Amino acid sequence: MTALPPPSKTKLGLVIDLDTCVGCQACATSCKEWNTGGYSAPLSDIDPYGADPHGAWLNRVHSFEVGAGDTSRTLHFPRSCLHCETPACVTVCPTGASYKRAEDGIVLVDPDLCIGCKLCSWACAYGAREYDYADGIMKKCTLCVDRIYNEHIPEEDRIPACVRACPTGARHFGDLGDPRSDVSKLVADRGGVDLLPDMGFKPVNKYLPPRAKRDATNSIPSAATEAVASTGAALEKLFAFADKMFTR
Protein backbone atom coordinates (compact mmCIF):
# COMPACT_ATOMS: atom_id res chain seq x y z
CA MET A 1 0.00 0.00 0.00
CA THR A 2 1.37 3.37 -0.96
CA ALA A 3 -0.94 5.19 1.44
CA LEU A 4 1.27 6.35 4.28
CA PRO A 5 0.83 4.60 7.63
CA PRO A 6 -0.07 6.73 10.66
CA PRO A 7 3.09 8.42 11.99
CA SER A 8 5.16 5.83 13.84
CA LYS A 9 6.51 6.42 17.33
CA THR A 10 9.80 4.93 16.30
CA LYS A 11 11.60 6.89 13.60
CA LEU A 12 14.80 5.11 12.75
CA GLY A 13 17.28 7.24 10.89
CA LEU A 14 20.78 8.60 10.57
CA VAL A 15 22.45 11.67 11.94
CA ILE A 16 25.38 12.78 9.83
CA ASP A 17 28.01 15.09 11.25
CA LEU A 18 29.28 17.41 8.53
CA ASP A 19 31.94 18.66 10.94
CA THR A 20 33.76 15.37 11.20
CA CYS A 21 33.05 13.76 7.82
CA VAL A 22 36.33 13.61 5.91
CA GLY A 23 34.87 12.40 2.62
CA CYS A 24 36.77 9.10 2.68
CA GLN A 25 33.93 7.21 0.86
CA ALA A 26 34.12 4.34 3.38
CA CYS A 27 30.37 4.61 4.04
CA ALA A 28 29.56 4.53 0.32
CA THR A 29 31.74 1.52 -0.46
CA SER A 30 30.64 -0.32 2.66
CA CYS A 31 27.02 0.34 1.70
CA LYS A 32 27.57 -1.00 -1.81
CA GLU A 33 29.38 -4.05 -0.46
CA TRP A 34 26.66 -4.98 2.02
CA ASN A 35 23.66 -4.17 -0.11
CA THR A 36 24.81 -5.85 -3.31
CA GLY A 37 24.51 -9.06 -1.32
CA GLY A 38 21.63 -8.09 0.98
CA TYR A 39 18.01 -6.96 0.68
CA SER A 40 18.70 -4.90 -2.45
CA ALA A 41 20.81 -7.53 -4.23
CA PRO A 42 22.10 -7.07 -6.82
CA LEU A 43 23.30 -3.48 -7.09
CA SER A 44 24.28 -3.84 -10.72
CA ASP A 45 27.17 -2.06 -12.39
CA ILE A 46 26.84 -1.26 -16.07
CA ASP A 47 29.95 -1.34 -18.29
CA PRO A 48 32.15 -1.70 -15.18
CA TYR A 49 35.43 -2.03 -17.10
CA GLY A 50 34.47 0.05 -20.13
CA ALA A 51 34.42 3.70 -21.05
CA ASP A 52 31.21 4.59 -19.20
CA PRO A 53 31.08 2.65 -15.95
CA HIS A 54 28.09 3.43 -13.75
CA GLY A 55 25.92 1.54 -11.36
CA ALA A 56 23.39 1.64 -8.58
CA TRP A 57 24.72 3.00 -5.29
CA LEU A 58 22.56 3.86 -2.32
CA ASN A 59 24.90 6.39 -0.74
CA ARG A 60 26.92 9.08 -2.49
CA VAL A 61 29.51 11.40 -0.97
CA HIS A 62 29.82 14.84 -2.54
CA SER A 63 32.56 17.34 -1.78
CA PHE A 64 31.72 21.02 -1.89
CA GLU A 65 33.52 24.27 -1.30
CA VAL A 66 31.35 26.60 0.74
CA GLY A 67 31.61 30.19 1.88
CA ALA A 68 34.23 32.68 0.86
CA GLY A 69 37.35 34.30 2.26
CA ASP A 70 38.85 33.28 5.59
CA THR A 71 35.81 31.28 6.62
CA SER A 72 35.54 29.23 3.41
CA ARG A 73 35.89 25.50 3.82
CA THR A 74 35.69 22.15 2.13
CA LEU A 75 32.58 20.24 3.08
CA HIS A 76 32.06 16.53 2.53
CA PHE A 77 28.43 15.63 2.17
CA PRO A 78 27.11 12.06 2.22
CA ARG A 79 23.72 11.83 0.51
CA SER A 80 21.30 8.92 0.90
CA CYS A 81 17.61 8.30 1.59
CA LEU A 82 16.36 10.46 4.47
CA HIS A 83 13.42 8.13 5.28
CA CYS A 84 11.03 11.09 5.20
CA GLU A 85 7.93 11.14 7.36
CA THR A 86 5.76 12.17 4.38
CA PRO A 87 7.68 10.75 1.42
CA ALA A 88 6.26 11.61 -2.00
CA CYS A 89 8.25 8.70 -3.48
CA VAL A 90 5.87 6.35 -1.66
CA THR A 91 2.55 7.98 -2.55
CA VAL A 92 3.34 8.35 -6.27
CA CYS A 93 4.17 4.65 -6.65
CA PRO A 94 1.49 3.02 -8.84
CA THR A 95 2.13 -0.55 -7.71
CA GLY A 96 2.56 -0.41 -3.95
CA ALA A 97 6.20 -1.46 -4.27
CA SER A 98 7.30 1.69 -2.45
CA TYR A 99 6.17 1.72 1.13
CA LYS A 100 6.90 3.19 4.53
CA ARG A 101 7.03 0.72 7.38
CA ALA A 102 4.50 1.47 10.11
CA GLU A 103 6.68 0.05 12.89
CA ASP A 104 9.91 2.00 12.41
CA GLY A 105 9.37 4.42 9.51
CA ILE A 106 11.90 2.82 7.15
CA VAL A 107 11.07 3.53 3.49
CA LEU A 108 11.57 0.44 1.33
CA VAL A 109 11.00 -0.84 -2.19
CA ASP A 110 9.51 -4.31 -2.51
CA PRO A 111 11.68 -5.76 -5.29
CA ASP A 112 8.93 -8.20 -6.30
CA LEU A 113 6.35 -5.47 -6.96
CA CYS A 114 8.43 -2.69 -8.57
CA ILE A 115 7.81 -2.23 -12.30
CA GLY A 116 10.69 0.21 -12.80
CA CYS A 117 8.59 3.22 -13.88
CA LYS A 118 11.07 5.58 -12.13
CA LEU A 119 8.33 7.99 -11.02
CA CYS A 120 9.50 7.70 -7.39
CA SER A 121 12.93 9.00 -8.42
CA TRP A 122 11.24 12.04 -9.97
CA ALA A 123 9.28 12.62 -6.78
CA CYS A 124 12.35 12.46 -4.53
CA ALA A 125 14.07 15.80 -3.95
CA TYR A 126 17.27 14.24 -2.71
CA GLY A 127 18.28 11.93 -5.55
CA ALA A 128 18.17 9.09 -3.06
CA ARG A 129 16.76 6.48 -5.42
CA GLU A 130 18.84 4.89 -8.12
CA TYR A 131 17.38 2.75 -10.87
CA ASP A 132 19.17 -0.53 -11.51
CA TYR A 133 19.45 -0.66 -15.29
CA ALA A 134 20.23 -4.39 -15.28
CA ASP A 135 17.68 -5.46 -12.67
CA GLY A 136 14.94 -3.18 -14.06
CA ILE A 137 13.78 -2.00 -10.64
CA MET A 138 14.44 0.90 -8.29
CA LYS A 139 17.00 0.58 -5.50
CA LYS A 140 17.32 2.69 -2.39
CA CYS A 141 18.79 2.83 1.11
CA THR A 142 17.13 0.22 3.32
CA LEU A 143 18.71 1.60 6.50
CA CYS A 144 20.25 -1.88 6.44
CA VAL A 145 16.98 -3.42 7.56
CA ASP A 146 18.71 -6.78 7.07
CA ARG A 147 21.42 -5.86 9.61
CA ILE A 148 19.76 -3.83 12.33
CA TYR A 149 17.32 -6.60 13.34
CA ASN A 150 19.63 -9.47 12.37
CA GLU A 151 20.23 -11.81 15.30
CA HIS A 152 22.68 -13.89 13.29
CA ILE A 153 25.39 -11.25 13.38
CA PRO A 154 27.27 -9.90 16.42
CA GLU A 155 25.37 -7.21 18.31
CA GLU A 156 27.90 -4.47 17.50
CA ASP A 157 27.24 -5.06 13.80
CA ARG A 158 23.47 -4.50 14.10
CA ILE A 159 23.76 -0.97 12.75
CA PRO A 160 23.73 0.21 9.13
CA ALA A 161 26.89 -0.73 7.21
CA CYS A 162 27.70 2.94 6.55
CA VAL A 163 27.64 3.75 10.27
CA ARG A 164 29.74 0.69 11.09
CA ALA A 165 32.34 1.68 8.48
CA CYS A 166 32.73 5.38 9.28
CA PRO A 167 36.25 5.86 10.65
CA THR A 168 35.60 9.32 12.11
CA GLY A 169 32.32 8.63 13.87
CA ALA A 170 30.52 11.09 11.61
CA ARG A 171 27.50 8.80 11.18
CA HIS A 172 25.08 7.96 13.95
CA PHE A 173 22.10 5.60 13.86
CA GLY A 174 19.15 5.59 16.22
CA ASP A 175 15.54 6.40 16.97
CA LEU A 176 14.85 10.04 16.15
CA GLY A 177 11.28 9.61 17.35
CA ASP A 178 12.51 9.22 20.94
CA PRO A 179 13.65 12.58 22.35
CA ARG A 180 15.82 10.77 24.94
CA SER A 181 17.80 8.76 22.42
CA ASP A 182 21.48 9.53 21.87
CA VAL A 183 20.82 10.68 18.29
CA SER A 184 18.00 13.00 19.35
CA LYS A 185 20.23 14.53 22.06
CA LEU A 186 23.00 14.96 19.51
CA VAL A 187 20.62 16.72 17.13
CA ALA A 188 19.42 18.99 19.95
CA ASP A 189 22.98 19.79 21.14
CA ARG A 190 24.45 20.49 17.73
CA GLY A 191 21.44 22.10 16.06
CA GLY A 192 20.78 19.34 13.54
CA VAL A 193 19.00 20.43 10.38
CA ASP A 194 16.70 19.09 7.66
CA LEU A 195 17.66 19.18 4.00
CA LEU A 196 15.30 21.29 1.82
CA PRO A 197 12.76 21.64 4.67
CA ASP A 198 10.42 23.73 2.46
CA MET A 199 9.88 20.73 0.23
CA GLY A 200 7.62 19.45 2.99
CA PHE A 201 8.70 15.82 3.03
CA LYS A 202 9.83 16.01 6.70
CA PRO A 203 13.13 14.09 6.50
CA VAL A 204 13.91 11.87 9.50
CA ASN A 205 17.67 11.91 8.89
CA LYS A 206 19.38 15.00 10.26
CA TYR A 207 22.63 16.71 9.35
CA LEU A 208 24.84 18.38 11.95
CA PRO A 209 26.28 21.65 10.60
CA PRO A 210 30.05 22.11 10.80
CA ARG A 211 31.23 23.89 13.94
CA ALA A 212 32.14 27.56 13.46
CA LYS A 213 35.53 27.86 11.86
CA ARG A 214 38.24 29.70 13.75
CA ASP A 215 39.26 32.94 12.10
CA ALA A 216 42.87 32.40 11.00
CA THR A 217 43.76 36.08 11.58
CA ASN A 218 43.04 36.10 15.31
CA SER A 219 42.79 32.51 16.40
CA ILE A 220 46.48 31.99 17.28
CA PRO A 221 47.10 33.02 20.93
CA SER A 222 49.43 36.06 20.95
CA ALA A 223 51.58 34.56 23.74
CA ALA A 224 52.67 31.85 21.36
CA THR A 225 54.32 34.30 18.99
CA GLU A 226 55.99 36.60 21.55
CA ALA A 227 59.57 36.22 22.83
CA VAL A 228 59.93 34.88 26.32
CA ALA A 229 60.80 37.65 28.75
CA SER A 230 64.26 37.59 30.32
CA THR A 231 64.53 35.87 33.70
CA GLY A 232 67.28 38.29 34.78
CA ALA A 233 69.93 35.54 35.36
CA ALA A 234 73.63 36.52 35.07
CA LEU A 235 74.18 34.29 32.03
CA GLU A 236 71.25 35.98 30.20
CA LYS A 237 72.73 39.39 31.04
CA LEU A 238 75.98 38.19 29.42
CA PHE A 239 74.07 37.09 26.27
CA ALA A 240 72.21 40.42 26.19
CA PHE A 241 75.53 42.24 26.42
CA ALA A 242 76.95 40.06 23.59
CA ASP A 243 73.81 40.72 21.47
CA LYS A 244 74.26 44.44 22.00
CA MET A 245 77.96 44.32 21.05
CA PHE A 246 77.38 42.25 17.90
CA THR A 247 74.47 44.43 16.80
CA ARG A 248 76.63 47.52 16.87
Partner 1 sequence: MHPAYSVIFFTTLSGAGYGLLICLATLYSLGAIPPAPLLGLLSLGSAFALISIGLLASTLHLGRPSRAWRAFSQWRTSWLSREGVLSIASFIPAGFLAIGWIWLGTYSTIFVCMAVATVGLSLATVYCTGMIYQSLPTIRAWHQPLVTPIYVVLAIATGSLLALFILRTFFIEIPPLSILTIAALLLGAALKRTYWRIVANAPRTFTAGQAIGLASIGDVRPLDPPHGQANFVMREMGFVVGRKHAEKLRGLILGAGFLAPAVLLAVALVTIPIVATFLTGLAIVSCAIGIFTERWLFFAEAQHVVTLYYGAKSA
Candidate list 15, 43, 137, 183; residue touching partner 1; CB under 8 A: 137
Q: Is the backbone of residue 69 left (phi > 0), alpha (psi -120 to 50) or beta?
A: left
Q: How far is the CB of 81 from partner 1 (least distance, A)?
A: 12
Q: Is the backbone of residue 200 left (phi > 0), alpha (psi -120 to 50) or beta?
A: left
Total of residues contacting partner 1 (CB under 8 A): 68
- Would you give the DSSP letter of residue 35? H
Residue 97 near partner 1 by CB under 8 A: yes
Q: Which is nearer to partner 1, 97 or 145 (CB)?
A: 97
- Would you give the DSSP letter of residue 200? -
Q: By the 8 A CB rule, do 171 and 16 touch?
A: yes
Q: How far is the CB of 31 from partner 1 (least distance, A)?
A: 12
Alpha helices in the chain (DSSP H): 26-35, 88-91, 119-123, 145-148, 161-165, 182-190, 234-247
Residue 185 near partner 1 by CB under 8 A: no
Q: By the 8 A CB rule, do 71 and 213 touch?
A: yes
Q: Which is nearer to partner 1, 148 or 192 (CB)?
A: 192
Candidate list 5, 53, 169, 179; residue touching partner 1; CB under 8 A: 53
Region binding partner 1 by CB under 8 A among candidate stretches 7-15, 101-109, 125-133, 173-181: 125-133
Q: How far is the CB of 166 from partner 1 (least distance, A)?
A: 16
Length of the chain: 248
Q: Residue 179: which residues within 8 A CB-CB, separation 6 or more?
A: 188
Binding site residues, partner 1, CB under 8 A: 1-3, 18, 23, 28, 52-57, 60-68, 72, 74-75, 77, 79, 88, 90-97, 113-119, 121-127, 130-133, 135-138, 193-200, 207, 209-210
